[in-house]
Amino acid sequence: MPADRAAGTDVVVVGGGPAGLSAALWLGRYDRSVRVYDAGTGRNQPAGGVHGYPGLRDPTPAQLRSELRGQAGEAGATIVTDNVARVEGEKGRFLLTTDSDEQIACARIVLAYGLRDYIPAIPGFEEHYGRAVFHCPDCDGPTVRGRSVGVLGWDRPAAALALFLLNWTQDVTLLAHGCRIEIDDRGLDTLSSAGIAIRPEPVERAVGSGGALGGVRLEGGDRVELSAIFFHLGYEPRCELANTLGCALDEQGAIIVDRGQETSVQGVYAAGDITGPPHLAIAAAAEGVRAALTAHRSLLPQHLHL
């Protein structure tokens, strides 16, 4: 057995979204033994569709994941519904333990476990999340073309998001939700010049009927008619495996990778939203493929290297 091959499997992929399943598909194409652990809690799971994925016409996240799982399985990948709880070891000799106490040794690891968004704790938001309440303007901006849109936020990123949405609609309102507005005078002037109104009152709830969003009710009783709401209050990684392994992170907390998706820890690769923007399914899939190519080449025996 080559020195960097662990008894068990060649590569373990942590995460069963577009990044992880694309990595598994390509590793299988290279006849690598690969095992995917999928906790089943994808970031885009509530979304009504995966938009802008070349060759596909807005499949639901579940449909895209099902297709990718099928392709990866046909290529030889084993997909397990479980969560990786611990990892130890080094390149060529990693040992992972899952929540169900399964242990698997592997030579390489691909981290693709994604992010978890902070969803505002406002009644009605979760009910409409993914259909009329969104966090990603790149994904869902085109779906609100010409409609009345609200942006929940009170700082510079929220102002930037409101201005960005003017690409699709001229009817944008910033909902400060009772928070102190942290936008400088220049930013306020820019919003005003662009016709973006600011409502400072707390948002009591999102309201609608028949599954469609009608607007928001503000403290004091006013109602703002809206067809969609965007927010971006931040996010966090779905687990701490990168920290446990000692992977270097950038100032925003994203995992730093090289051109081959390898992290600062040799033998550990990362792909998808956890490596930073753009947070798009197609970008995640591409990174997963790149991680697979690099991991496969790293496993080729030395006598085949020039």
Selecting from 3.50.50.60, 1.20.1300.10, 3.10.110.10, 3.90.1150.10, what CATH number does the domain 9-117+235-304 have? Answer: 3.50.50.60
Q: Give the confidence band of 303 by pLDDT, cuts at 50, 70, 90.
A: confident
Please compute the mean of the pLDDT values over residues 133-158 and round it to a whole number: 96
> How many Å apart are CA 45 and CA 36, to the nearest integer?
18
Q: Where are the alpha helices (DSSP H) in the chain?
A: 18-29, 61-74, 125-128, 137-140, 156-164, 185-193, 241-245, 281-299
The per-residue pLDDT for range 256-292, each reduced to its tens digit, is 999 999 999 999 999 999 999 999 999 999 999 999 9
pLDDT recorded at residue 2? 40
Closest CA to 111 of 238, 236, 286: 238
Q: Where are the alpha helices (DSSP H) in 147-213?
A: 156-164, 185-193
- % residues pLDDT > 70 (the chain): 98
The per-residue pLDDT for range 107-133, each reduced to its tens digit, is 999 999 999 999 999 999 999 999 999
Q: Report whether pLDDT(73) > 90.
A: yes
Burial label, 236 (beta-carbon count in 10 A; 0-12, 13-18, 19+): exposed
Domain 125-231 has CATH 3.50.50.60: yes
Mean pLDDT of the chain: 95
Closest CA to 165 of 179, 128, 157: 157
The per-residue pLDDT for range 84-100, each reduced to its tens digit, is 999 999 999 999 999 99
pLDDT recorded at residue 185? 97
The residues of the chain that CATH labels 3.50.50.60 are 9-117+235-304, 125-231
pLDDT recorded at residue 6? 43
Q: Report whether pLDDT(4) > 80.
A: no
Q: Give the confidence band of 7 by pLDDT, cuts at 50, 70, 90.
A: very low
